[in-house]
Amino acid sequence: MIISLEYRQYKAKTLSEVEKTYLDTIKDAQKKVGKRRGPARKREAKNMTDPTCKDVAVQRLNGSKIEKLIAELCPDLPAGRQGGVEFKDVGTLIEDKTVTTVTPPKKLTKKHYKPTGTFPIIDQGQNFIVGYTNDSNAVVANDLYVIFGDHTEAIKYVNFAFVQGADGIKILKTHTDIINTRFFYYVLNNFYEKIGKYTRHFSFLKKTKIPIPPLAIQQEIVNILNTFTTLEAELEAELEARKKQYAYYRDELLTPIVVSGKWLMVSGEEVEWKTLGEVITLKYGKTLKENERDGGNFPVLGSNGRIGFHSSYLIEGPCIIIGRKGSAGAVVWEEKNCYPIDTTFFVKNQSDKILLKYLFYKFQTFNLTTDKQDGGVPGINRNNVYKIKIPIPPLAEQERIVAILDKFDALVNDISVGLPAELNARRRQYEYYRNKLLTFKPLEKEHAS
């Protein structure tokens, strides 16, 4: 399912060629994520909404082998009751050396992160690998680990040598004769309840109770859940490939070339050049503090998208919002009437020769210059933006380009359709089955004694 694409090999001569390639790409991706169409897809959808069907689906996954293993390996209880499994909190597991914490030989600060290198760097951020280094003196040996972000609560499974980035992570290693490390990763994700505040969280993790079934059961559960995570990883790789392809074709569609001394779009339409300052105005958003937002019907827009809702709006939609501070240069399209706050600009179209949605896609291709504002926060100087020149083809050409890009943008960004929808569905399915597979009856005290 993972696709390798040589994006620059395709050189379109006409817009119709680009459109055809886009549509072929969409069909190809839909085939890959839509194999379970018709009755099979309907049954799967029912399984995700009907608890009875979901239980039947889980029984298909674990009913035979796991239930047999539980009956065989878990203690029998009086009066014919089903056997249970022991639960222990993580703190107890650390005390009895079933789980140990690993101290790295060295920690690297962010200024030492490199884009390439021999050893991957893992920190407490949400990204799995945050950089690379060649510092062999900082390497945590090749083994199986679970990484816990003490501030972020991120939980990661690592099965290779790595280097710890900065402070804030706990490196955990299991006694593999008692707990399968991958199983430990799955149960922590399932049973640890995130606090969601910026504080130290390891003390909360240590209070988390987890089931410890026999190793054979742990391994069978790992085998099943690995199937889900592998599919998710393939879909993520597919989506990333499509995003790169989308970016390439978007740039091809929006970038004219010189032919016989004339600037032409790929369709052959001639363009007119204007500076952004001639066709738009960047207006400041307005302050609306978090405690002032009343949760109404209109989205509140920050520098990187929606951050809340309010009962009144500042501008009518659709509109383009540009991150002015913080996520400076981020470009957001908002369909609804909305309230952009003071960390943003919103675009006011001053020309009847250019479509707002065409401008949005063109803005995505800009590497907007950021300057240090008050307090050293990266920001955008709108006078610099006004100097940028853009090609303006005829309106009919703009409409055609927008129609093509809308289709592909939905495929790679809209969570209700295409690859994002499929990936979201697989994640929900994985979380559901993980919870079902890791639900055990606790070992009763009368038997545990």
- CATH code, domain carrying 377: 3.90.220.20
Query: Of 358, 392, 426, which residue sits at a domain end?
Result: 392
Tell me the CA distances in angstroms from 60 to 40, 68, 72, 89, 345, one per residue in order.
Answer: 15, 13, 19, 30, 54
Q: Are 385 and 397 contained in the same domain?
A: no
Token readout for 48 is 């995700």
| Contact criterion met (CB below 8 Å) for 151 and 195 | no
Query: Of 193, 212, 231, which residue sits at a domain end?
Result: 212
What pLDDT is recorded for position 422?
A: 78
Please state whether 418 falls in left (phi above 0), alpha (psi between -120 and 50) or beta.
left
What pLDDT is recorded for position 230?
A: 83
Q: Are 206 and 225 contained in the same domain?
A: no
Is 6 among the domain residues?
Answer: no
pTM given for the model:
0.63
How many other CB atoms are found less than 10 A from the CB of residue 20? 13
Is 356 among the domain residues?
Answer: yes
Token readout for 315 is 């501008």
3-state SS of the chain? Answer: CCCCCCHHHCCCCCHHHHHHHHHHHHHHHHHHHCCCCHHHHHHHHHHHHCHHHHHHHHHHHHCCHHHHHHHHHCCCCHHHCCCCEEEEEHHHHHHCCCEEEECCCCEECHHHCECCCCEEEECCCCCCCCEEECCHHHEECCCCEEEEECCCCCEEEECCCEEEECCCEEEEEECCCCCCHHHHHHHHHHHCCCCCCCCCCHHHHHCCEEEECCHHHHHHHHHHHHHHHHHHHHHHHHHHHHHHHHHHHHHHHHCCEEECCEEECCCCCECEEEEHHHHEEEEECCCCCHHHCCCCCEEEEECCEEEEEECCCCECCCEEEEECECCCCCEEEECCCEEECCCEEEEEECCCCCCHHHHHHHHHCCCCCEEECHHHCEEECHHHHHCCEEEECCHHHHHHHHHHHHHHHHHHHCCCCHHHHHHHHHHHHHHHHHHHHCCCCECCHHHHC
Is 263 among the domain residues?
Answer: no
Tell me how many domains the chain contains: 3
Q: Are 219 and 168 contained in the same domain?
A: no
Is 52 among the domain residues?
Answer: no
Whole-number Å distance between alpha carbons of 445 and 153: 32
Token readout for 227 is 């199937």
Q: Are 185 and 100 contained in the same domain?
A: yes
Is 265 among the domain residues?
Answer: no
Q: Are 173 and 113 contained in the same domain?
A: yes
Whole-number Å distance between alpha carbons of 29 and 34: 8
Q: Are 220 and 289 contained in the same domain?
A: no
Is 325 among the domain residues?
Answer: yes
Q: Are 132 and 208 contained in the same domain?
A: yes
What pLDDT is recorded for position 45?
A: 40
Those residues whose C-beta lies under 8 Å from the C-beta of residue 350, and which sit 6 or more positions away, are 278, 279, 280, 281
Q: Which domain holds residue 358?
A: 272-392
Which segments of the chain have a pLDDT < 50?
1-15, 18-19, 22, 29-30, 32-62, 77-82, 446-449
Q: Are 206 and 92 contained in the same domain?
A: yes
What pLDDT is recorded for position 195?
A: 83
Whole-number Å distance between alpha carbons of 308 and 254: 33
Those residues whose C-beta lies under 8 Å from the C-beta of residue 53, and which sit 6 or more positions away, are 43, 46, 47
Q: Are 98 and 173 contained in the same domain?
A: yes
Q: Are 72 and 101 contained in the same domain?
A: no
Amino acid at 325: K
| Contact criterion met (CB below 8 Å) for 334 and 317 | yes
Q: Are 98 and 68 contained in the same domain?
A: no
What pLDDT is recorded for position 266?
A: 86
Is 39 among the domain residues?
Answer: no
Q: Are 300 and 245 contained in the same domain?
A: no
What pLDDT is recorded for position 49?
A: 36
